């Protein structure tokens, strides 16, 4: 009975093909939460896959809904001793739409296929592959030690790709049942494929619209050019007053006062690289004076997601009556998401753009979260992963994207440590989503090591 034996058991689960079989079966379930016709499949994923898998490990499990209308949630727990530390795991079994027609020949989102060491299928990276790895790590420790040596709880949701409707309400309603010393979960990509990564929260996201309705109908650009305002030009200048030509945000309320030194220290050895086939980094873009890693993980970005005016597919010689754009602010701790739109409104008015209307999109606001990179549990997790892999993990204070981490950090009040088992080139949310099998195998070893260490006497003070 040893740490090495637990890790060997986890990698054997991979080497025998058993892990691949389990993941392929889960990928075959088209759990598209954005497709109303898949409601029964969302329920079946929890009832037929997650509930039995956790009950096999001695968990008690229950499927619940928030108000009876949200996608379902699975709540599971295995309590060994109230005096032991408690860890909460999380995953989501829903996926984005399959986009079947966009996949490479002979590939399907609902049939896992291996090509050159990569497993293709919807959910292999986001998130079925990742929570399957974590459950496999738990199983390896339990079978090796005969017990976990800690208390384990698990939450699996089926609506993350819709913005996690009901998640915060579930965490509020079942606060005591979900309480734990920390969250250990997996989602998102590593910094680079070959480098294990830990992140401690996520950037938040606020999506909003800007538009100008100048008049009814278009008017001939020859007869009226020079006499009528062009809303497309006005809106372009309005956007330019919010964000400069090299991506620098010009609204003070949309950025933090500074980057904490602990965040700078964590990012000092983090290099962003999209890998083969990924985009080339453009170091001149974004906030001046920051490294690329600081811009992505320590600062905010304001992006134009869409811009529409006139008839883009068949332009005509007319001044358009309307222009519209959708913008998104990805923000870090220190920015109040509810103050974003009022700040944008004031800034536009000060610069003479009172004609521009503003409004939040229907997308849910994600709050920014970040555990202190110097927290003892962070050092513990980094040391555990380094011991297992022989590699120095990358430490990201927060993911560049957005996750519902605030449900755990703010509502449940726990430390949050994320260990991703994917990489930047995984085609998440796009056709040809895939998971490198090498990362999956290493992920099983990492999680077995982490869970083993949780049951050892030398853990941070609770």
Question: If DSSP codes are grouped into helix, strand and coil, which group holds residue 190?
Answer: coil
Structure token digits, residue 269: 């050895």
The separation between CA 32 and the C-alpha centre of its own chain, rounded to angstroms, equals 17
pLDDT at 355: 98
Structure token digits, residue 52: 């039995």
Mean pLDDT of 372-383: 97
Q: How far apart are CA 390 and CA 2, in angstroms?
A: 18
In which band, very low, low, confident or very high, does the pLDDT at 462 lie, cut at 50, 70 and 90?
Answer: low
CA distance to 10, 193, 260, 379, per residue, from 197 (Å): 19, 9, 20, 13
Write the CATH number of the domain with boundaries 3-202+368-454.
3.40.630.10
Question: Assign residue 371 a region: left if phi > 0, alpha if psi is -120 to 50, beta otherwise?
Answer: beta
The separation between CA 102 and the C-alpha centre of its own chain, rounded to angstroms, equals 23
Write the CATH number of the domain with boundaries 205-256+300-360.
3.30.70.360
Report the greatest alpha carbon distance in the chain: 86
pLDDT tens per residue, range 411-450? 999 999 999 999 999 999 999 999 999 999 999 999 999 9
146-150, 199-203, 364-368: least confident range? 364-368
Q: How far apart are CA 449 and CA 451, in angstroms?
A: 6
Mean pLDDT of 351-369: 93
Question: If DSSP codes are grouped into helix, strand and coil, which group holds residue 324?
Answer: strand
The interaxial angle of helices 18-27 and 128-145, nearest 10 deg, is 140
Domain spans, the chain? 3-202+368-454, 205-256+300-360
pLDDT at 135: 98
Question: If DSSP codes are grouped into helix, strand and coil, which group holds residue 75?
Answer: strand
pLDDT of 68 > 80? The answer is no
Q: How far apart are CA 364 and CA 351, in angstroms?
A: 28
pLDDT at 362: 81
Q: How far apart are CA 233 and CA 245, in angstroms?
A: 16
């Amino acid at each position: 009975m040893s740490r090495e034996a637990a890790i060997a058991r986890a990698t054997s689960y991979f080497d025998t093909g058993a892990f691949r079989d389990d993941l392929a079966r889960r990928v075959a379930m088209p759990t598209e939460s954005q497709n109303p016709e898949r409601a029964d499949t969302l329920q079946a994923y929890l009832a037929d896959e997650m509930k039995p898998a956790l009950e096999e490990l001695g968990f008690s499990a229950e499927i619940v809904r928030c108000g009876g209308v949200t996608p379902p949630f699975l709540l599971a727990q295995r309590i060994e001793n109230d005096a032991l530390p408690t860890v909460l795991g999380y995953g989501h079994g829903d996926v984005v739409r399959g986009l079947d027609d966009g996949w490479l020949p002979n590939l399907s989102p609902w049939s896992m296929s291996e090509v050159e060491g990569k497993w293709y299928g919807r959910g292999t990276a986001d998130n079925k592959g990742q929570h399957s790895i974590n459950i496999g790590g738990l199983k390896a420790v339990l079978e090796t030690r005969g017990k976990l040596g800690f208390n384990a709880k698990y939450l699996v949701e089926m609506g993350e790709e819709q913005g996690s409707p009901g998640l915060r309400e579930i965490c509020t309603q079942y606060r005591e049942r979900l309480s734990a010393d920390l969250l250990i979960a997996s989602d998102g990509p590593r910094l680079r494929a070959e480098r294990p990564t830990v992140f401690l929260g996520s950037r938040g996201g606020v999506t909003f619209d800007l538009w100008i309705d100048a008049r009814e109908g278009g008017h001939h650009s020859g007869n009226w050019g020079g006499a009528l305002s062009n809303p497309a030009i006005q809106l372009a200048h309005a956007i330019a007053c919010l964000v400069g030509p090299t991506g620098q945000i010009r609204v003070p309320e949309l950025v933090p006062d500074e980057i904490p030194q602990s965040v700078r220290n964590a990012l000092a050895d983090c290099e962003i690289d999209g890998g083969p086939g990924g985009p080339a980094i453009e170091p001149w873009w974004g906030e001046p004076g920051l490294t690329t890693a600081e811009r992505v993980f320590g600062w905010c970005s304001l992006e134009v997601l869409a811009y529409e005016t006139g008839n883009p597919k068949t332009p005509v010689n007319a001044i358009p009556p309307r222009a519209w754009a959708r913008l998104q602010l990805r923000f870090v701790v220190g920015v109040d998401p509810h103050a974003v739109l009022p700040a944008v409104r004031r800034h536009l008015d000060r610069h003479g753009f009172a004609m521009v209307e503003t409004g939040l999109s229907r997308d849910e606001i994600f709050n920014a979260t970040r555990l202190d990179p110097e927290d003892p549990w962070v050092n513990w997790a980094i040391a555990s992963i380094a011991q297992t892999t022989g590699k120095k993990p990358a430490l990201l204070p927060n993911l560049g994207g957005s996750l519902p981490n605030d449900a755990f950090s703010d509502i449940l009040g726990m430390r949050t440590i994320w260990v991703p088992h994917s990489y930047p080139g995984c085609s998440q949310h796009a056709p040809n989503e895939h998971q490198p099998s090498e990362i999956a195998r290493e992920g099983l070893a990492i999680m077995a090591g982490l869970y083993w260490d949780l049951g050892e006497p030398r853990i941070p003070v609770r």
